[in-house]
């Protein structure tokens, strides 16, 4: 929305393949910001007629102003959990935008300015199931982009998670947040502190 001068507008895409829980992650993110936080949100999704497999994405627009146009045109933040999603949607990320990928599945990144975290592998190893990779990636997104507070996400995860999965989801969220903080340090060391060396 470069023409709108609406600098407070942030456009986020969570992408991957059907079944990875990205539409659910979009709902969690939007609810954390719009209900537990105090900004306006609009969450939209795109999916084909198939139930699993195929590209899946969930877009979240955040703004302090009223959101009229509910979809995204230039992404500020792109989360890609598969190589296909990363390849398809990277061109929609605007210059200087934030790219976060799941390095379990994304081996070829289109830029070196990327936060690369093996969400699915760590979810499997530390939490015992890969299905919480979506929630883990939201924790990392919170630490890296600061568009949402960890405690807002935690409240919504606890209220929305299927009964009996609250602990695993909460653990995944916190693990993701720590991984995100670490990724920020590595990123700073590489791109912000490093250029000072002669």
Partner 1 sequence: MTENRSYLLQGNQACAYGALAGGVDFFAGYPITPSTEIAEILASELPRQGGRFIQMEDEIGSIAAIIGASIAGAKSMTATSGPGFSLMQESMGYAYMAEVPCVVVDVQRGGPSTGLPTKVSQADTMQAKWGTHGDYYPIVLAAASISECFHMTVRAVNLSEKFRSPVVLLLDEVLGHMRERITIPDKSELELVERRKPTVPPEWFKPFELTPTHISPMAGYGEGYRFHCTGLTHDSSGFPTSDPAEIKDKLDKLKLKITQNSDEICTYKQEHIDDCHIVVIAYGVAARVAQQAVRIARHKRFKVGLFQPDTIWPFPEKALRKALENADLAIVAELNQGQLINEVKRIAHSKVKVDGIFRYDGDIMTPHEIVKKIREAN
Q: Which residues contact 68 (CB under 8 A, 6 or more apart)?
A: none
CA distance linking residue 79 with residue 176, whole number of Å: 13
Residue 27 interacts with partner 1 (CB under 8 A)? yes
Closer by beta carbon to partner 1, 29 or else 173: 29
Q: To the nearest whole angstrom, how small is the minimum distance from the Cβ of residue 146 to partner 1?
A: 21
Per CB under 8 A, the list member of 15, 17, 43, 104 interacting with partner 1 is 43
Per CB under 8 A, the segment of 27-35, 83-91, 106-114, 137-145 that binds partner 1 is 27-35
Per CB under 8 A, the list member of 18, 24, 55, 67 interacting with partner 1 is 67
Q: To the nearest whole angstrom, how small is the minimum distance from the Cβ of residue 72 to partner 1?
A: 10
Closer by beta carbon to partner 1, 33 or else 114: 33
User: Largest Cα–Cα distance of the chain, in whole Å?
Assistant: 55
Question: Which of 111, 135, 108, 133 is closest to 123 using CA atoms?
Answer: 133
Residue 69 interacts with partner 1 (CB under 8 A)? yes
Residue 24 interacts with partner 1 (CB under 8 A)? no
Binding mask 45-64 for partner 1 (x = CB under 8 A): xxxxx---------------
Q: Which residues make up the interface to partner 1 (CB under 8 A)?
A: 1, 3-5, 27, 30-31, 34-35, 40-49, 67-71, 73
């Amino acid at each position: 929305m470069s023409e709108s001068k609406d600098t407070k507008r942030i456009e986020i895409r969570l992408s991957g393949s059907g079944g990875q829980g990205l539409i659910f992650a979009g709902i969690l993110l939007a609810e954390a910001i719009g209900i537990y936080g105090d900004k306006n949100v609009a969450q939209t999704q795109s999916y084909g007629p198939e139930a699993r497999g195929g590209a899946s994405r969930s877009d979240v627009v955040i703004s302090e102003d009223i959101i009229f146009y509910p979809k995204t045109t230039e992404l500020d933040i792109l989360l890609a959990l598969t190589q296909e999603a990363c390849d398809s949607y990277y061109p929609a990320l605007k210059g200087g935008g934030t790219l976060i990928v799941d390095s379990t599945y994304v081996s070829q990144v289109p830029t070196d300015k990327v936060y690369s975290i093996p969400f699915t592998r760590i979810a499997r190893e530390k939490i015992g199931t890969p299905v919480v990779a979506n929630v883990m990636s939201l924790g990392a997104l919170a630490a890296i982009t600061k568009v949402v507070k960890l405690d807002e996400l935690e409240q919504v995860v606890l209220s929305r998670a299927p009964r009996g999965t609250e602990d695993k989801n909460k653990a995944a969220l916190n693990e993701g947040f720590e991984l995100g903080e670490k990724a920020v340090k590595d990123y700073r060391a590489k791109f912000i502190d490093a250029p000072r060396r002669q």
